[in-house]
Amino acid sequence: MTQTQTAVCTRIASRNAALADRLWGSVETDHGEEYDRKARAKGRELCASCPMLENCLAQALTGRWRDDRIVGGLTYRERRKLARCVGEGLDVPPRRLGHVHPNRVAAWIREHPQSIDIARDEQRSYWRRTKQANHESRPVGMPAQGTLF
């Protein structure tokens, strides 16, 4: 008898939907939707150890999911970077990945597991460069906000 694999997020969501939202999505507060950074970091760790990681990412890339949820351990922007890598590897423009079978995308990701780290690292370095450029563009000695007088 073969046992089917179930994604970690599916098992958690079936037991506690609020926890799943906290780990991979957002939390509704009085101020709107907010993210629990510590919980989302734990959600990313759980995704990394999930047996369905490649299939999850393949579904997200071929379905062109555009949301702020963590899917396969990646944010939407990181998934976009991964889509470029997968597209180059399969010789398909990233916006055309919706026409590629998810099994083919999952197989490519399995053969190139470093592509997940590359996508994540490219997004981190983008934010680092942006933050550094903003910091350098501020004149020395000037406050971040204007003064009253």
pLDDT tens sequence across 67-101: 889 999 999 999 999 999 999 999 999 889 999 99
- Model pTM score: 0.79
Q: Give the number of other CB atoms < 10 A from CB of residue 97.
A: 22
Q: Residue 25 forms beta bridges with which residues?
A: none
CA dist list (Å): 71 to 81, 100, 119, 129, 146: 13, 19, 13, 25, 40
What is the model's pLDDT at position 64?
A: 83
Q: What is the pLDDT at residue 101? A: 96
Q: In this structure, are residues 99 and 91 in contact, taking their beta carbons and an 8 Å threshold? A: no
Token duo for residue 83: 């889509």
Q: Residue ranges of the domains in the chain? A: 8-134
Cβ atoms 127, 81 nearer than 8 A = no
Burial of 42 (0-12, 13-18, 19+ CB in 10 A): middle
Q: Picking from 55-59, 98-102, 143-147, which range would have the lowest pLDDT averaged per residue?
A: 143-147
Q: Give the model confidence (pLDDT) of 13-24 as tens digits.
A: 999 999 999 999
Task: Provide DSSP, 11-78.
Answer: HHHHH-HHHHHHHHS-EEETTEEE--HHHHHHHHHHHHT-TTHHHHHHHHHHHT--SSS-BTTB-HHH
d(CA 83, CA 79): 6
DSSP β-bridge partners for residue 93? none
Phi, psi angle pair for 21, to nearest 5°: -60, -40
